[in-house]
Structure 1
Amino acid sequence: MGTNSNNNNNTNNNRNSNTFSRKKGLIHGYLLLYNLIQSLGWTAVLASALRAVLLPASSNFGRTTNWQERLTTVYDHSSMFVKPFQILSLMETLHAVFGFVRSPVLPSVLQWMGRTHVLMCVTDSVIPLQKTTAAGVLILCWAITECVRYPCYALGILNATPKWLLYLRYTLFIPLYPLGAASEMKLMYDSIGFVKRVEMYYVHMPNVLNFAFDYSWFLYLVLVVYPFMFAQLYFYMFHQRRRKLKTKKA
């Protein structure tokens, strides 16, 4: 009896172990595919942005535009790639929720909401903002960051991340995150006049829900809390940098 019971337990343990291994393998395969797709998408973003900035373009006066003027064309060149792949990154919040990755859920959600709001609700909706230096800098900062981050994650799943890529992942954010955040805040601030003039996203009383909404005041509120949200993410990344680079050196 005792022997049969032990054999049954061992069999069940082996089955559970095999099932767990299969699930883990499927999750890893899915995450690898996801990160490869995002890598390709953001490479397209970066390539289109660099093309706008680096290749000479003729102005209305027949002269070659300088790089600052070219920055104002980055959004037009890159938006077809930026929008779908930024929206797709919503999956990363679900990865955290379902435990596919160890990332904290709340920062993942807030970062996705913040970036998507600036991209879709502000920059894509207020057309004059699309031809600004801030929009160009924003896209370049995002693209450079993601063209390092996603390959780093993909290779990490395979335990094949080179040291130089890991170093870039946890070093480039030092200048790029503040530049990106400053661009996001400038775009939101510059949109307020337009938002007030056309009453964009306003909800007026009376209505069925007995609810009013002034989007310009929402933008003011976001601008107040944005530096605090950014600081939390920024210092978290420094913590990750110390941990990841120290681990690899050890």
Structure 2
Amino acid sequence: MAAPLHPVVFWAQKAETVTLRVDLKDVKDPEIDLTKESLTFKVIGVGAAGLNSYQFTLNFYKSVDPEGSAFRITDREVNFVLMKDGPSEEWTRLTLSEEKQPWLKIDFDKLTVDDDSEDEELRRKAEFEEEQLKQIQKQLTESEAEAYTDLKKMYLCVYNFLQFIGYSYIFIYLTVNFVIKGQGMRQAYSKIILPLSVCQVFAVLEVINPLLGIVKTGAMAPLIQFTGRNMVLFVVIRGEDRMVGEPVLCYLFLIWSSIELVRYPFYMLCSIGQESMIISWLRYTIWIPLYPAGFLFEILSLWTAIPFYEASKKYNLELPNAWNVSFDMTTFLYIWIVGILSASPMMMSHMWRQRQKRFGSKKKVH
């Protein structure tokens, strides 16, 4: 819970009285409780933090006379005149506690001082004004930080929610029309390729966010996933028209979307500081069957594309040319398959360590 807001309170004294000046404008709904030992003050007004609820409690150094005391509310401030209870004397301080409160200030406008101490009081007044300026700057900085945090939460929540909606559409459409109704892949492909492409393009934000410090996770893992998926989707699949009707694509897209249907709600809840144990468990568990299946169908998609690229020679670069470099797409696809086979165990090990860290059994103390 946020700490209560304190108004700035200026105080001064004479031998018989203590005066308080509460720096609040347009005060409404005052709740004031004055006893011999303390003053409790709570109102709604305009202060350093704008229109808000402000409050404070003062436990006096010595007792006061509530019956002989009074207060007055004006448009610009609230004034108290508190009668000291007992012999007329100067208090060494206002509050029972010696702890200094940053919102409690000496009212230099009402303070009576000797000529010999005038320079000292001027110095103290200058220090007071400097401290007030620092407090204002601190409040502005804190307000800016809170606004940035709220904006960041909103941005991350909206991004993850929209990605979840996109992959939900892909998963539901393929499940209903391809798996259940037996619709041809070419027709299904035409319905889901645009939302899938949009989701994959905007996934670049998952690489940018860690680099900008918006999230605290590393950028390497999302970079590898973003690069790998987009190479498969935009270079291999969308680069060859004959790939459109291959059923293997449906199963690949179903696996991708199944992973994201859990991952994005998990991140969406994290962005607003919430957690669902069911979603967290799925996030760290569902990869166990889906990641190997995803690697398998990525390899099958590349394997399916090899004859097409071998016949079309698309993307090939043959000698001689201006760069004196050759490139064969078919060979590249074979190398890519070997790379997936080599990298998948490391990825699985990384995910297993994450799961153990989150749900691993605790060591028993004997």
With 189-198 and 128-137 compared, the bigger mean Cα shift is at: 128-137
Q: What is the CA distance between 1:2 and its match in structure 2?
A: 4.2
Matches within 5 A, 1:151-166: 151-166=265-280
With normalisation by structure 2, the TM-score equals 0.59
Contact 1:75 1:139 in 2 (8 A): no
- CA-to-aligned-CA distance 1:157-213 (integer Å, 9 cap, x gap): 223332111111111111001101111112112222221221111123333334332
Contact 2:185 2:244 in 1 (8 A): no
- The structure richer in helix per residue is 1
Matches within 5 A, 1:26-45: 26-45=151-170
Which residue does 1:88 correspond to in 2? 202
- The structure richer in strand per residue is 2
Which residue does 1:61 correspond to in 2? none
* Structure 2 unaligned blocks of 5 or more: 1-125, 362-366
Matches within 5 A, 1:132-211: 132-211=246-325
Which residue does 2:217 correspond to in 1? 103
Distance in 1 (alpha carbons) for counterparts of 2:145 and 2:237: 44
Q: 1:74 to 1:241 in 2, by over 3 A?
A: farther
Q: What is the CA distance between 1:54 and its match in structure 2?
A: 4.0
Matches within 5 A, 1:46-57: 46-57=171-182
Percent identity of paired positions between Structure 1 and Structure 2: 23
Contact 1:39 1:147 in 2 (8 A): yes
* Structure 1 unaligned blocks of 5 or more: 59-69
Contact 2:242 2:308 in 1 (8 A): no
Q: What is the CA distance between 1:97 and its match in structure 2?
A: 1.6
Q: 1:219 corresponds to which letter in structure 2?
A: L
Q: 1:99 to 1:201 in 2, by over 3 A?
A: same
Q: Does the alignment pair 1:114 with 2:228?
A: yes
Q: 1:93 to 1:226 in 2, by over 3 A?
A: same
Q: What is the CA distance between 1:155 and its match in structure 2?
A: 2.1
* Larger RCO (CA within 8 A; separation ≥ 6): 1
With normalisation by structure 1, the TM-score equals 0.83
Contact 2:315 2:329 in 1 (8 A): yes
With 152-161 and 104-113 compared, the bigger mean Cα shift is at: 152-161
Q: Does the alignment pair 1:12 with 2:137?
A: yes
Contact 2:206 2:219 in 1 (8 A): no
Q: 2:344 corresponds to which letter in structure 1?
A: F
| 1:222 maps to which of 336, 339, 342 | 336
Distance in 1 (alpha carbons) for counterparts of 2:236 and 2:347: 22
Residue-pair matches, total: 236
- CA-to-aligned-CA distance 1:16-42 (integer Å, 9 cap, x gap): 222222112111111111111111111
Contact 1:52 1:73 in 2 (8 A): no
Runs (4 or more) in structure 1 with deviation over 6 Å come to 70-73
Distance in 2 (alpha carbons) for counterparts of 1:76 and 1:141: 18
Distance in 1 (alpha carbons) for counterparts of 2:137 and 2:234: 51
Q: Secondary structure at the match of 1:132?
A: coil
Q: 1:193 to 1:158 in 2, by over 3 A?
A: same
Which residue does 1:22 correspond to in 2? 147
- RMSD of aligned Cα (Å): 2.5
